[in-house]
């Protein structure tokens, strides 16, 4: 499964720290297995249930958000440098995993995708943190996952958390009808 994931999400390779890259992969694998999916399902699962019949998959959204984050991080590094420090590896890992909890929050019912029993109790920022913890990822990654959506609006996000939050909404709000 690891090779397949590296093929469909090449952005894993942007994580320079090998241990962090492996734990990020492990978290994705755990979520796919726990949710009863296979890697090819990532291209079929809608990235959100809030936009009816969206044609954007969870795979496309995850890659788009990750690449937007990478672009933002590079632009900030080239212009502001140390005035706005960003941990690139944490950002990329958090971006790849920010919606990993959706693999537990959603289920397939025939041709439809709906909320699972677990998803009705725990939205994906919460189930995503569970997965990250099980995979041994540091709290910096759990922080990005936990706070990426409106759940994090009342707290203080890290620099990486702020970038990810905006990259996520950049890839969501324009698609709302
Ligand atoms: Fe997202």
Say whether pTM exceeds 0.85.
Answer: yes
Residue 11 falls inside a structural domain = no
3 within domain boundaries: no
Which domain CATH number covers 70? 1.10.3210
User: What is the per-residue pLDDT for 2?
Assistant: 96
Average pLDDT in the chain: 97
Q: 106 and 116 in contact (C-beta within 8 Å)?
A: yes
**Dist. CA 111 → ligand 1 center (Å):** 22
DSSP alpha helices (H): ranges in the chain? Answer: 2-8, 18-34, 58-79, 88-97, 102-105, 117-121, 124-134, 139-147, 159-170
7 assigned to some structural domain:
no
Q: Which of 86, 96, 94, 102 is nearest to 142 (CA)?
A: 94
With respect to residue 1, please indicate whether it lies within any of the assigned structural domains.
no
CA of 84 to the centre of ligand 1 (A): 23
At residue 34 the predicted structure's pLDDT band, cuts being 50, 70 and 90, is: very high
The mean pLDDT of 96-125, rounded to a whole number, is 97
Domain residue limits at 92: 18-36+55-175
* Gap from CA of 159 to ligand 1 centroid (Å): 17
CB-based neighbours (< 5 A) of ligand 1, an ion: 99, 168
**Ligand 1 centre distance from Cα of residue 61 (Å):** 7
b/e burial code for range 80-111 (CB count within 10 A of at least 16 → b): eeeeeebebbbbbbbbbbbbbbbbbbbbeeee
Instruction: Round to the nearest angstrom and report the end-to-end CA distance of the chain.
Output: 35
* CA 48–ligand 1 middle distance (angstroms): 8
> Model confidence at 162, in pLDDT bands (50, 70, 90)?
very high
Reported residue count of the chain is: 177
| CA of residue 155 to ligand 1 center, whole Å | 19
Q: What total number of domains does the chain contain?
A: 1
Q: What integer pLDDT is reported at residue 52 of this predicted model?
A: 87
Answer yes or no: is 2 within a domain. no
Q: Is residue 13 part of a domain?
A: no
CB 31 within 8 A of CB 118: no
pLDDT bin (cut points 50, 70, 90) of residue 176 is: confident
Provide the pLDDT confidence category of residue 53 given band limits of 50, 70 and 90.
confident
Rounded mean pLDDT, 156-160? 98
* Residue 41 alpha carbon to ligand 1 centre in Å: 17
């Amino acid at each position: 499964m690891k090779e397949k994931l590296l093929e469909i999400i090449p952005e894993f390779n942007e994580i320079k720290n090998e241990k962090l890259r492996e734990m990020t992969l492990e978290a994705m694998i755990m979520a796919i297995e726990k949710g009863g999916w296979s890697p090819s399902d990532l291209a079929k699962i809608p990235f959100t249930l809030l936009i009816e019949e969206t044609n954007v998959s969870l795979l496309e959204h995850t890659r788009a958000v990750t690449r937007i984050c990478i672009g933002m991080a590079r632009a900030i590094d080239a212009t502001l440098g140390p005035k706005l420090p960003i941990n690139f590896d944490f950002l990329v890992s958090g971006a790849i995993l920010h919606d990993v909890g959706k693999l537990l929050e959603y289920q397939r019912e025939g041709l439809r995708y709906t909320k699972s029993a677990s998803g009705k109790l725990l939205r994906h920022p919460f189930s995503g943190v569970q997965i990250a913890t099980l995979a041994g990822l540091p709290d910096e990654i759990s922080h990005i996952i936990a706070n990426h959506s409106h759940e994090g609006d009342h707290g203080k996000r890290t620099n990486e958390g702020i970038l990810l939050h905006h990259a996520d909404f950049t890839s969501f709000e324009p698609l709302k009808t």
